[in-house]
Amino acid sequence: MFKCTHLLLFAALSLLSQPLLAQPQVDLVVVKKSLSQLRLMSNGKILHEYHIAMGDMPRGHKLKEGDQRTPEGRYVLDYKKPNSTYYRAIHISYPNDEDIFRARALGINPGGQIMIHGQNPHTALPPEEAQQYNWTNGCIAVTNKEMDEIWKLVEPGTPIEIWP
């Protein structure tokens, strides 16, 4: 009886230490600019989907600093910034080598500091309403609640594909 009780107690404690609903690992983030959509993917399956806001000029690939465009192509989410001006942020590795080469050939600055981030703290609009407008400088914005979810699920080093 004593051994059986201890085994049951050990089994129960082992179960409690495990996450009840383990989330699959996000292995890719996909942004479709024309749909204002960000998807978290795992093994080719959509885990979560979010409506996004972008820059004032979302069409076309970002060419230079200040053009209000979100870059297009394959990048890496390379670090997290917990104390961002826009709540929390995850940095996108723009510009890549191709972007830098193009900018040098054109004699322009490609810009940088492109992120997935939360809401503008200076807006009076409710989160869902603010998401109906493109208001960033080329970043990808979600609500703070959604940013909390993304923050937990996406690790630095995760690739991101941004499509027209």
**Distance separating alpha carbons of residues 137 and 58, to the nearest angstrom:** 10
Q: What are phi and psi of 121, to 5 degrees?
A: -70, -10
Torsion of CA 117, 72, 164, 85, to 10 degrees: 20
Quote the pLDDT of residue 21: 62
Q: Is beta strand 87-92 parallel, antiparallel or unpaired with respect to 73-84?
A: antiparallel
Quote the pLDDT of residue 58: 84
Query: 69 — alpha (psi -120 to 50), left (phi > 0) or beta?
Result: beta
Quote the pLDDT of residue 162: 98
Quote the pLDDT of residue 127: 86
Quote the pLDDT of residue 45: 97
Residues of the chain with pLDDT under 70: 1-22
109: Cα within 13 Å, side-chain hemisphere: 6
**Distance separating alpha carbons of residues 71 and 99, to the nearest angstrom:** 9
